A and B are shown apart, each in its own frame.
Chain A
Amino acid sequence: MGSQNVRRKKVKAVVVSQKQIADQIYDMWLETELAQDAGAGQFVAVYPHDASTLLPRPISICEVDRKAGRLRLVYRIAGKGTAEFASYGSGDTADVLGVLGNGFPIERVTGRRVVIMGGGIGIPPMLELAKELDADKHILLGYRDRDLFLQDDMARYGEVYIATEDGSVGVRGNVMDALRVHELSADVIMACGPMPMLRAIKQYAQQQGIEAYISLEERMACGVGACLGCVCRTKNVDAHSHVNNARICTEGPVFDAGEVDI
């Protein structure tokens, strides 16, 4: 499990390649020393060069190539900052802060039946997870429509089941609908996606009495645990904050679903 016991730093990464892989979705490989310490479920924060956009953009790590020293980021254009990143071509530099946050507890689930769920722009971090996990893997991916992405990459690491909101591919509905239709069972669920999906997974895991690890997202400023912008409510008093709040950037972004109040 990638975690924060390595020193975080801000570096200049070199763009190796960039391509659009779906509507508003971009796939960028970066050459950076940060790759050595990166693990599934962790993230980096990318600073736009445009000085009018002050804050770094938190982006999950989609894939890690430690041997080549490369990180893959698959992200959606959501505003000025990510639109700038999408304009980078190979050879350009990107200012990257990393490696941030705590990833999925991979060793903990070795050999078990793990259902990996990704919804929309929550799909990218599940690729490195699928790659690193040594388990009986079933991968459920949820999309809005037939404009799929990363499904072929995922298929290399486990059986992929697709759900689309408009029913154009796979099961009509979301990943939970796909889970039911395919009658899949799990010892553990690991997921990233929109909040309603994560809430449904948390509820399902509780009903089934199984473990679930979910990756959360929130507006961030610093990315390093100082500003307290990106908190989520926690069941227990958090060891750092001493209130029922944990920092998604530092204690997260991956949490045991039972420990967060979402």
Chain B
Amino acid sequence: MNTKVTIAGVTFKNPVMTASGTFGSGMEYSDFVDLNRLGAVVTKGVANVPWPGNPTPRVAETYGGMLNAIGLQNPGIDVFVERDIPFLRQYDTRIIVNVCGKTVDDYLEVVERLSDQPVDMLEINVSCPNVKEGAIAFGQEAGCLYDITSRIKNRAKQPVIMKLSPNVTDITEMAKAAEAAGADALSLINTITGMKIDIHRRRFALANKTGGLSGPAIKPVAVRMVYQAAHAVKIPIIGMGGIANAEDAVEFLLAGASAVAVGAMNFANPYATAEIVEGIEAYMMRYGVENVADLTGAVVE
């Protein structure tokens, strides 16, 4: 049985990754999960300088999901390079660094800073719904997405994954723009913009008023978008959005993803990623699947 997948020339021991922002830089979950078991750790977004993030409350639970408006709080690339990369290097797993910024130059600064670092891939966050500048602004208009993707590709030493927002009219337009600009892979979906109001206090549940919805509640939307994007582009896709167990993960693979990422469910079950790795193996055994890569896009039309 072969659980390896290859994306943009990088081989992963299995297709299970962590979704950015839900797993820190791995340290916080190393009490629960043997990081050596994971295909990759995708880090919390990192910017050129430290960001304080949004006021609290930053999180709110919703039916089968949650809203967050953390606002990309991060310690900045210097601390990240000194502390988080050496931590992750102790493990036999791939390192994908999620990069965020307010301007294109911010992104480029981080990308260049990482160029000589032992990092396997870069994931560019052009889809965070919770910051006022940058981020999602680059990911909601095909022209802007094309521009930032090509500028990053010009400088990046590692393969580039563009992380797409579901908060668009047509996901295939964005997928095609990123591919045309040279993106090596896509990851989707980021969170869906949502809102919650506390009717007793007549207040917004989040200080930011709006937040990104994640968790099992968004899974059907995510599966649909992965399927659409997979039919629109030739580059590989990392699928995510509400994956709670191995069955969900396989669903994303069948829809067209080459790998999957586990996000909010880490909060509901800190062992989720490792259990999904095992569950995919069990699925392969049960159905006699020799290569996990054969599952990608294998839904019967």
- Residues of A whose CB lies within 8 Å of any CB of B are 7-10, 47, 51-56, 97, 218-232, 240-245, 250
Minimum distance in angstroms from B193 CB to a CB of chain A: 17
Residues of A within 8 A of B21 (CB): 227
Minimum distance in angstroms from B88 CB to a CB of chain A: 14
Q: Which interface residue of A8, A53, A240, A241 has the most chain B CB atoms within 10 A?
A: A241
Q: Are B70 and A228 in contact (CB under 8 A)?
A: yes
Q: Are A54 and B66 in contact (CB under 8 A)?
A: yes
Residues of B within 8 A of A220 (CB): 59
Minimum distance in angstroms from B256 CB to a CB of chain A: 26
Q: How far is the CA of A175 from the CA of B269 in the complex (A)?
A: 39
Q: How far is the CA of A218 from the CA of B207 in the complex (A)?
A: 12
Partner of A242, one of B32, B79, B215: B79
Stretch at the interface among B23-31, B142-150, B173-181: B23-31
Using C-beta atoms within 8 Å of the partner chain, give the interface range for chain B.
Answer: 35 or more
26 A–B contact pairs at CB < 8 A? A10-B271, A54-B268, A55-B268, A97-B270, A218-B56, A219-B58, A221-B59, A222-B270, A224-B270, A226-B23, A226-B44, A226-B266, A226-B267, A227-B22, A228-B53, A228-B73, A230-B56, A230-B59, A231-B56, A231-B73, A241-B50, A241-B75, A242-B50, A243-B53, A245-B53, A245-B73
Q: Are A221 and B28 in contact (CB under 8 A)?
A: no
Q: Are B32 and A8 in contact (CB under 8 A)?
A: yes
Residues of B within 8 A of A47 (CB): 268-269
Q: Are A224 and B66 in contact (CB under 8 A)?
A: no
Partner of B29, one of A226, A229, A245, A250: A226
Partner of A229, one of B50, B70, B270: B70
Provided the pairs A52-B64, A54-B65, A54-B66 are in contact, do residues A232 and B270 lie with their beta carbons within 8 angstroms? no
Q: How far is the CA of A133 from the CA of B270 in the complex (A)?
A: 33
Q: How far is the CA of A230 from the CA of B58 in the complex (A)?
A: 7
The 10 closest A-B pairs by CB, nearest first: A242-B75, A229-B59, A226-B28, A226-B24, A243-B52, A219-B57, A225-B28, A222-B267, A221-B59, A54-B268
What is the 8 Å Cβ interface bit string for chain B, positions 51-79, against chain A (1 contact, 0 not)? Answer: 11100111111011110101001011001
Q: How far is the CA of A221 from the CA of B268 in the complex (A)?
A: 8
What is the 8 Å Cβ interface bit string for chain B, positions 267-281, against chain A (1 contact, 0 not)? Answer: 111110000000000
Q: How far is the CA of A241 from the CA of B28 in the complex (A)?
A: 13
Question: Across the two chains, which residue of chain A brings its CB closest to B214?
Answer: A54
Chain B positions 17-45 with a Cβ under 8 Å from a chain A Cβ: 21-24, 28-29, 31-32, 44
Q: Are A54 and B53 in contact (CB under 8 A)?
A: no
Q: How far is the CA of A225 from the CA of B266 in the complex (A)?
A: 12
Residues of B within 8 A of A229 (CB): 56-59, 68, 70
- Judge if B114 is at the interface, Cβ distance under 8 Å: no
Additional 12 contacts, C-beta under 8 A, given A55-B59, A225-B24: A9-B31, A51-B216, A54-B64, A55-B66, A56-B267, A219-B56, A221-B59, A226-B267, A228-B70, A229-B56, A229-B58, A242-B79
Residues of A within 8 A of B267 (CB): 54-56, 221-223, 226-227
Q: Which interface residue of B58, B73, B265, B267 has the most chain A CB atoms within 10 A?
A: B267
Question: Across the two chains, which residue of chain B brings its CB closest to A244?
Answer: B52
- Judge if B264 is at the interface, Cβ distance under 8 Å: yes
Q: Are B70 and A227 in contact (CB under 8 A)?
A: yes
Q: Are A53 and B31 in contact (CB under 8 A)?
A: no
Q: Are A10 and B59 in contact (CB under 8 A)?
A: no
Provided the pairs A51-B216, A54-B216 are in contact, do residues A243 and B73 lie with their beta carbons within 8 angstroms? yes
Q: Which interface residue of B23, B58, B266 has the most chain A CB atoms within 10 A?
A: B58
Q: How far is the CA of A218 from the CA of B55 in the complex (A)?
A: 11
Q: How far is the CA of A98 from the CA of B29 in the complex (A)?
A: 13
Q: How far is the CA of A51 from the CA of B68 in the complex (A)?
A: 19
Q: Are A231 and B59 in contact (CB under 8 A)?
A: no
Q: Which interface residue of B22, B28, B63 has the most chain A CB atoms within 10 A?
A: B28
Q: How far is the CA of A165 from the CA of B61 in the complex (A)?
A: 31
Minimum distance in angstroms from A245 CB to a CB of chain B: 6
Minimum distance in angstroms from A56 CB to a CB of chain B: 7
Residues of B within 8 A of A223 (CB): 267
Q: Are A222 and B28 in contact (CB under 8 A)?
A: yes
Question: Across the two chains, which residue of chain A brings its CB closest to B206?
Answer: A219
Q: How far is the CA of A221 from the CA of B57 in the complex (A)?
A: 11
Question: Across the two chains, which residue of chain A brings its CB closest to B21?
Answer: A227
Question: Across the two chains, which residue of chain B brings its CB closest to A95?
Answer: B269
Residues of A within 8 A of B28 (CB): 222, 224-226, 250
Q: Are A8 and B31 in contact (CB under 8 A)?
A: yes
Residues of B within 8 A of A222 (CB): 22, 28, 266-267, 270
Residues of A within 8 A of B70 (CB): 227-229
Q: Which interface residue of A7, A219, A230, A240 has the most chain B CB atoms within 10 A?
A: A219
Q: How far is the CA of A240 from the CA of B269 in the complex (A)?
A: 24
Residues of B within 8 A of A243 (CB): 50-53, 73, 75
Minimum distance in angstroms from A81 CB to a CB of chain B: 8
Residues of B within 8 A of A10 (CB): 32, 269-271
Q: Are A241 and B270 in contact (CB under 8 A)?
A: no
Residues of B within 8 A of A232 (CB): 56
Minimum distance in angstroms from A79 CB to a CB of chain B: 8
Q: How far is the CA of A223 from the CA of B29 in the complex (A)?
A: 11
